[in-house]
Each structure stands twice: as structure tokens, then as C-alpha cells.
Structure 1
Amino acid sequence: MGGRGEASSAAMTASSAPLLLPLAPAPAARDEVRRQVGLAAPLVACSLLQYSLQVVSVMFAGHLGELPLSAASVASSFANVTGFSVLLGMGSALDTLCGQSYGAKQYDMLGTHAQRAIFVLMLSSVPLAFVLAFTGQILTALGQNPEISYGAGTYARLLIPGLFAYGLLQCLTKLLQAQNIVHPLVVCSGVTLIFHIVLCWFLVQNSGLGYRGAALATSVSYWFNVILLALYVKFSEAGRRSWHGWSRAVLKDVNLFLSLAIPSTFMTW
């Protein structure tokens, strides 16, 4: 009888036990999540800081009146669609190329891929710059207000130097990002934003340039960010490991880069 009671009690205990144990994340999974968040959060912050340059410029232009605000807003939107977003998409090809090279520990190829991207993006910036140069005429042909179109055209032309800087900025950003170097990107972008706010205030409010100063400040600030990242690449250990000077190898496999860059551009658009 005692044996039967113990067996019955054991059976009841087993039947009342949950079929599935509570899911507890393994230490390895927690570490991976923490690592991914540690990489993603700075990249999100970097993107927001870089995007804030044009937002700040439009805000400063808006203090001058309704017409400067409209011109700056339209010009920024047009430039983003026809210029900056194209370079952003093309630069995304480095996510694949540099990521593969870094994973295979082919560190010298990181610089080669980045140089090839710089070569292609600088060439691509030339026709995009022509589009920005005729922003006013294009907007007028599309039926926009002539005054706003003229102001937007002036603003967009002053963004052209920044277009070339933006292409370089994407290449340097991807080069460092592929090596999991993200915090210097945030620092450089943050310093650039502070520099941009001061420069924008001076050019818009104190130089007599008006809303044109906001566009000029955007271009100068993009170049300032490029210089900061270029200095980091030149003097940091990771930069010296991946960048060994310019090479003619950048002229090879351009089609491979374009096969990734063109689809990435359409995805960004």
C-alpha cells in the first residue's frame, strides 16, 4: 500500500509540473544583445547628429521670415532626394564589402574598398551637383512659386560643396563602422553639430548673408566632419591598419561595387 501511495503521489507531482520551463536567456545571448545594442545605439546617434545639420540650418533660416524658411525647406528636401540620399545609398555598399573583409581579417582590403567608394561617389556627385545647380529652374518648371523657387535655387547651389563632403563622410563612416569603431563617430558628429550651430548663428545673424549663410554653414560643417574623421583614420591604430595610402587597385572591380551600390540607392530612395 505504501509503495502504491508513493507512486501515486509521484505521478500527481509529475502531472502538475509545467511542461515548459520558464525561458531564461543564456549568458551568451545576453552578451550578444548587449553587444549589438552597444553598436547600434551610437550609430543611431551618429545618424541623427549628421541629419541635424540641415535641420538646424533650416531653423536658423526660419527666424528670418516665411520666405527664407520656405526656400530653405524646399531646397533641403530637393537636395536630400536628388543628391544626399543617392550618396547615402551608394555608400551602403561598403556595409557588405568592408564587413566581409573585416570578418576575413583582410584589413588591407578595407582601405581599398573605401577608396573605390570614394572614387565612385565623387564621380557620381558631379551630375548630382548639376541637378542642384538648376534647382530653381526645375522647381519653376514644376509649377512652384517663382520667389520660393529662386530662393531655393540659391540655397541649393550653396549646398553643392557639402554634397561632395557628404560622399566622403559616408565612406569614412562605413570604413570605421565595419571595424566596430562607433564611439569616435558619435564624438566627431557631436563636435561638428556644436561647431555648426555656432557657425550658422554667425553666418545667418551676423554676416549679412541671411538664409544663404545657413546653406553655406551646412557645407562647411560637412567638410569639418570629414576632416575630423580623416584625422582619426590617419592617426588611430585601426586607421593605420586599414589604410595604406592610395592604390591603383581602386580602379578594379568597380562593377562589383556598383552591383551593390545601385540596388542600395533604390532601397534608400
Structure 2
Amino acid sequence: MKINEDPLLVKTKLSEEEEEKEKIRWEKMKNVASMAAPMVAVNMSQFLLQATSTMIVGHRSELSLAGIALGSSFANVTGFGVLFGLSGALETLCGQAYGAKQYHKIGSYTFTSMVFLFIISFPISILWMFMNQILILLHQDPQIAELAAVYCLWLIPALFGYSVLESLVRYFQSQSLIFPMVLSSLAALSLHVPLCWLMVHKFEFGVKGAAASIGISYWLNAVFLWVYMKRSHRCIETRIYISKDVFLHTKIFFQFAVPSAMMCCLEWLAFEVITLLSGLLPNSKLETSVISICLTTSSLHYNLVNGIGDAASTNVANELGAGNPRGARDSASAAILIAAVESVVVSSTLFLSRNVWPYVYSNVDEVMHYVTDITPILCISILMDSFLIVLSGIVRGTGWQKIGAYVNITSYYLIGIPIGLLLCFHLHFNGKGLWVGIVTGSTLQTLILCLVIGFTNWKKEAIKARERIGDEKVWRHEVIG
């Protein structure tokens, strides 16, 4: 402070600076919230495509329900989850390119993603063709395995549609063009429900009809977004063109795509592992039923809160690409705060209704009592997941997919699952022990990512983002404090 400077004037200046900072924080929170809400609709619509198919098929017979449930689980881990994870590279690349106003690169990166995801769908399809033999090797019931294999075989067209759809979703998300995605996803869902019912029950196609209807819905959704991208004036500068640039971007795409897929798939696989392990317990039918109910509820919550994670990823990436480290930090903080509120509301509601909500899944007293008993552990899991999903979104927006993958492996496979095995089989906590292991893994992962983000040098990350998208030396002086 200067000697002759008025202390009152200094105090006023500091107060004005604090007001300005508070105003920016609220603005970032508004940006995140306004994007998160419609993204919830997009994610839930996609989730309900498979969920409604399972419900519709489930009314035919218990065997059909078991077959589609097993097939859907296998397809998600080995196929859709892989493509979903790989497309996460666009959250870094397209998001930061948009912030840096390198609009032509957004379409170029998206076309690269579409090409490689489409190509990767071929080996996945071949794997699905041998699914029956794979499931039998895993000691699954032959009848259930056969139905699951038929379901996945007819689901192959959906896989290719999904490869195009997810790339387009990331394309629109990076530009905060959410309305066309909401419109297309809700339209696809509205068409899917009657179509699936007709194909399953009216035309007696069973699981084949359910799989085919999902494929039709994915392709219609993708076509709608493609047409909007080609026709809308809002996409003129970022429009996707068929270009040989796909080969120029191969290295940088896979640099983020592979660890992004690992982040996603390894986490999903951890939940599938405990479901398989529950089948080895003495009362396997009860244990598997309860774990499946917890997993379904957790998946539903994942798709709900993932909208906040998507908003966090986009806003952080845009701000870093624009060379605004303070904006990136404030966007990350805003998303974490929203996640905190959401987690408290959802987990509290679930806990208070612990004697009621199990009725949604079962009328069997033994199952209901067990689910009620495990609900407190599930509430902690949901609490951690809310933070974890948003923190993972920030990781993708920043370009730390490798860090996220390493943290994932450490948390679940070196700590979480071994603890679950110990509690389940040696200390005889059974299914509760398995779920405690998963909660331990997600809690550790949340704490590590919190520390990583808390000690982040945002100015350095903004410089790295600008270097990644454009000329390194040109961007350095444009990064603001």
C-alpha cells in the first residue's frame, strides 16, 4: 500500500473486487446449472432406451428377462461402454478448441472420432458373435446365455449407430448446443417405446425385436443430429466435413481416447465383477438380486448426475481453451457445489424412504428386508458417486484422462475390490461386503481427484490447452490470470 493512499479507498477497492469475484462465481454456477439440467434429459433418454426394452421383454417370461439383462450387461461393458469412453476424448479436444475459437477443428476432431469409433465397432461385433460360447465358458445357464447371445447379435446395428451418435453428442455438447440433443433424444425415446412393444409383443420377435428397436432409435437420433448440424446456421463454422485430416488427428485423438475409455470401462467393469462374485455366495439368488437392485439404482443416479459432469467438462474445457484459468477454476468449483447439493438431496431421500423404495423392484419380503438393510451403504455410494462423476467431468475437460485411469485402477482394483473380497468371503459380510468394497474404491478415487484438482495450477493448464489446440508460442501471452 502506498503511504499516502486512503485506507478507506483501499477497503472500498477490495470490497469491489470481492463483489466482482462473487458475481463471476454465480455466473459460472448459472452456466453449469443451465447446461446440466437439459443434459440430464439427454442422458436419461438414452438410458431409458435400453431400460424400457428390458421392461417390455421382461413381461414375456422370466427367462426372457434374464437373457436380455445378461446380454445388456455384456453389451454395455464390452461395446457401448468402450465407445462411450473413447468419445470422451472429444470433451477435451472439441471443448478446448471451441474456447480457443479454433472452430474448424471441432468438426475435424468429431469426424476423426466418428471414423475410428465406427472402425472399432467391427471387432466388437465379431466378439458379440461368439458371445454364447463366451458366456458358457463363464458358467452361465445355457438357455439364458443363448438368449443373451441372440440379443447382442441383433444389437450390432445399434453399436454402429451409437458410434456416430456419441461423437455427435460430444460435438454439440462442446458448443453448449443442448436443445437439439434434448429434442432428438426425447423424439427417439417416444418412438422407441411403441416400436419396441410392437416388435416384441405384436410381431412376436422377443429379444430380437427389442434389440432391433434400439438400433433403429440410435440411428434415427444420429440422423436427426447430423441433419441439424448440416442445416443449422449455428453450426456453420464448426460443420463436419469428410476430410483426410482424420489421419492428422489420429495420434492426439487416441492420446485422450484410450485413457478416457479406461476411466469409463474399468469403473463399469468393477460393478460387473461384484455382480458375478455375488453369484458365488451360498444364497446366490438373493445376493445377486439385491446387488442387481443396488446396481440398477446406482446406474439410474449415474445418468441423472452425469448431466452435471458433462456441464463441468464443457465449461472447464471452454474456459481453458479461451485462456481463462480463473473461469475454469470457478466453473469447476460451481459444478462441485451443485454436486454436493444433489448428493445430499438424493442420498437423504433414499435413506428416509428405505422401507418403501424396495417395493419398486420386488414384493419378496426377504429381498426387501435385505435391500432396506443395505440402503445406508448405498446412500454413501451415491454420495461419493455424485462427487466422483463431476470430478471425472473436470478431469476430461482438463485433459487428465491418464491420471483418471491410473486413479481408477488403484482405487477399485488394488484397494476396493480386494477389500470387498475380504469382507465378503473371509469376514462373511456377503453382498454387503462386496458393496462396501465398491464404496471404498469410489471414496478413495473421490479423495485423490479432489486433491489433484485442489492443487491444480489453472494458469499452467490454460497454457497447455492453448498449446494443444494452436501454436504454442502465439498463445502464451494471451492467457489471463
Q: Does TM-score exceed 0.5, indicating one fold? A: yes
Report Cα offsets for 1:35-66 as digits up to 9, x if no partner.
11011121122111111101111111101001
Residues 1:150 and 1:244: Cα distance change in structure 2 (over 3 Å): closer
Match of 1:122 in 2: 118
Runs of 4+ in 1 over 4 A off after TM superposition: none
SS of the equivalent of 2:242 reads coil
Q: CA deviation at 1:31?
A: 2.1
Ranked by relative contact order (alpha carbons within 8 Å, sequence separation 6 or more), the top structure is: 1
Please tell me whether residue 57 in structure 1 is matched to residue 53 in structure 2. yes
Q: 1-side partners of 2:35 and 2:104: how far apart?
A: 23
Q: In structure 1, list runs of 5 or more residues that go unmatched.
A: 1-22
Aligned counterparts of 2:191 and 2:87: Cα–Cα separation in 1: 25
2:129 is matched with which residue? 133
1:244 Cα deviation (Å)?
5.1
Distance 2:175 2:76 in 1: 28
Do structure 1's residue 158 and structure 2's residue 154 form an aligned pair? yes
Aligned residue identity for 2:170: K
Q: How many residues align?
A: 247
**Residue 42 of structure 1 pairs with residue 38 of structure 2:** yes
> In 2, distance between residues paired with 1:190 and 1:67?
30
SS in 2 for 1:241: coil
The answer to whether residue 182 in structure 2 is matched with residue 192 in structure 1 is no
How much has 1:124 moved relative to structure 2?
A: 0.8
Do residues 225 (structure 1) and 221 (structure 2) align? yes
2:139 maps to what in 1?
143
Say which is worse superposed, 118-127 or 23-32, in terms of deviation. Answer: 23-32
**TM score, norm. by length of structure 2:** 0.50
Deviations 1:140-168 (A, max 9, x none): 11110000011110011011000011111
Show the 5 A alignment for 1:165-180.
165-180=161-176
Is residue 201 of structure 1 aligned with residue 197 of structure 2? Answer: yes
- Scaled by the length of structure 1, what TM-score is found? 0.89
Q: What CA deviation, in whole Å up to 9, does each residue of 1:217-246 have, x standing for no partner? A: 111111111111111111112222211521
2:247 alignment partner, one of 228, 244, 251:
251
Deviations along 1:5-51, one digit per CA (max 9) or x if unpaired, are: xxxxxxxxxxxxxxxxxx98833322221111011121122111111
2:107–2:239 Cα contact (<8 Å) kept = yes
Counterpart in the other structure of 1:237: 233
Root-mean-square deviation over aligned CA pairs: 1.4
Give 1:68-107 correspondences, 5 Å limit: 68-107=64-103
Identity of aligned residues (%): 37
Q: Is the 8 A contact 1:60 1:211 kept in 2?
A: no
Cα pair 1:107 1:241 within 8 Å, conserved: yes
SS in 1 for 2:217: helix
Could you tell me how far apart the structure 2 residues matched to 1:109 and 1:76 are? 35
Cα distance in 1 between the residues matched to 2:240 and 2:230: 10
Give yes or no for contact 2:110–2:240 (8 Å, CA) kept in 1: no
1:261 matched to 2:257? The reply is yes
**Contact 1:64–1:211 (CA<8 Å) still a contact in 2?**
no
Q: Distance in 2 between matches of 1:108 and 1:212?
A: 41
Q: CA deviation at 1:126?
A: 0.8
Deviations 1:111-138 (A, max 9, x none): 1000011111111111111111111111
Q: Which residue identity lines up with residue 242 of structure 2 in the other structure?
A: W
| Residue in 2 that maps onto 1:210 | 206
